[in-house]
Each structure stands twice: as structure tokens, then as C-alpha cells.
Amino acid sequence: MSKNKPYSDLIKSEAQRLGFADCGIAKATLLDTESANLKKWLNDGRHGDMQYMENHFEKRVNPQKLVENAKSVISVIFNYYPSHNQPKATYKISKYAYGKDYHFILKDKLRSLFNYLQSIIPEVQGRAFVDTAPVMDKVWAQKAGLGWIGKNTNLINPKLGSYVFIGELIVDIELEYDTPVKDYCGNCRKCVDACPTGALTGPYQIDASKCISYLTIEKKGEIPNEYQNKMNKWIFGCDVCQDVCPWNRKAIPHQSEELKPHPDLLKFKDTDWENLTKEKFNELFRKSAVKRTKYTGLKRNINFQQ
């Protein structure tokens, strides 16, 4: 048994106490294979207008550029699958944005986890990350044994499916490391075949510039006309490649009050969306990730599909 296994066990136990669905640990190393893949993906222009993806390349592939003398990446996942969904026939937002912005929820919990870590190992140094810094979170979660990266390019956890948020602590101490799990996608290609805009150009391949999530959130200016009648009333994000995934039959509704939607959201009809005022937008999405696209962006996405 590694001398650091007791610490690893304590960290995982505390992560579960804080509400994380699972926790795994990987050795902080240079991501050689992923570096080459990312470079090609960027060179092929698959990131669209997301110029920030080109920035801090070294930090994306080398955790020691983010945390000095980094030794371990502690990954956590947090379930966000809702107990009730919006009606399929209406304008829709992605499930991850139903409640409070996950960045705040996970960052708070990760800070608590780090404070706990410092209480048992006072000399530890590190940082918490939730999707806002150049960290390849799905890769680290996969290396930590929390799932595999599926053909829809999402992390799939064998117990929960893919409706999970990912966060990390990168720390400068050695711990007991987990081993990756097998890829269980098999011959299935439901996600690839179901993508409305053809953004999944093949298994494990995504052209983000065609993705509805990109078009409704990241894309600046007008949405290209070629996507008219292809967006299936998604106005903030898209869940199609997850909704069709057989592994999401295992999804269990979360128990987090903070992720519960505003009661009106699940009742909204098309006319409510089309007549949405700025005041109602601010009420519905006061602390939600939907604020990222702003009122004008959401109206653009609605008007494009009327």
C-alpha cells in the first residue's frame, strides 16, 4: 500500500461528504498525445470564434505550468441530471443551465475540499479549477478513473452517465493514483447519427463551430443561415448527443437545491419565450449560466428559429 493511500482515501471521503458524486486522482504529467490532438483540432479551425482556445496552450497540456511543482490532479464530478425537464416541443435550454451557475457551486465545494486537504497536510499548495482556466478537465477525469470520453466527446461515468460537471484540484503532493476505466461505447453511434447540425463529424470527433451549444452561446454576431431549421428549438446549449446516449438511462436525478430551475422555466411555452422581456429574463436566470449569452443573445437565438 502506498504511504499516501490514507490521504487519498480521506480526500475521496471528504469529496463525497461535500456532495460530489465521485472523486479520482491522476498523476500530473505532460499530456503528450492530447497536445498533438489539440494542436491539430485548432489548426483545422474546429474551435470557430473561440480564440481563447488558442491561448495558454502550454498550460492546457502541462499542469506544472498552472501549479508549480504539480504532482497530482484530483478530479471530481457533480451530478446535474434534473428530476423534471422542459417540454420537448418548446424552446429549450441545456439541462446544465436550469439552476444556479455551476462554476460557483463547484468552486465553493472545491475550496472546501482544498481547505480540508490543508488541514491534514498543512504544507500542500495548489489551485482549484472549474472550466474557466486552461485545463483539459475531461482528460484528467478520464485519467482519474471517473469515466471515459465517449463518441459524443463527453465524459461518461459508468454509474451516472454524462450529465456531470467536472472540477479539479491541482496540488504539489504525491498521492495514490487511480487507473482509467475501459471505453464502453462499443459499436453504438447514436450520438453521431442524432446530432442535428453534423457537429459530430465522426466518433470522438467534434467540429465545435457547427455545435448548437457553440452557435447559441459562443458565436458572436448572426447565426449562419445554413443552420436554419436544424437547431430543433435549442436556444441555449443542446443536449441531443447526451439525451440519446444509452448510458444516460442510468442517470439519477440530483438532490441539489441550487440546481433546481425557476418554477416558471418548466411551464414556459413558445409564446412565453417569444415575448420574453428583459425583466423576466433577469428573474428567470438571475444566477444562471444563461446570463452568459445575455438577453440580446437569447432573443437572437429565439428569433432565428421563429
- In one-letter notation, the amino acid at residue 56 is H
- Catalytic (active-site) positions: 131
Query: What secondary structure letter does DSSP report for 195?
Result: -
Tell me how many degrees the CA angle 250-253-259 measures, rounded to the nearest 5: 140
Q: Grid coordinates in use for 299?
A: 432573443
Whether the CB-CB separation of 11 and 74 falls below 8 Å is answered with yes
3 state SS of 178: coil
CB 133 within 8 A of CB 170: no
Do residues 284 and 262 lie in contact, with contact meaning Cβ atoms separated by under 8 Å? yes
Nearest residue to 159 via CA among 139, 145, 140, 179: 145
**Residue that is written with C-alpha cell 482544498 in the block:** 114
From 60, 201, 80, select the one nearest 133 (Cα to Cα): 60
Q: Grid coordinates standing for 206?
A: 467534434
Q: Identify the CA nearest to 273 among candidates 302, 297, 295.
A: 302
CA terminus-to-terminus distance, the chain:
62
Q: CA 263 to CA 266: how far, in whole Å?
A: 6
- The answer to whether residues 241 and 152 touch, using CB atoms and an 8 Å cutoff, is yes
Burial 40-75 (b: 16+ CB within 10 A, else e): ebeeeebbbeeeebeeeeeebbbbbebbeebbbbbb
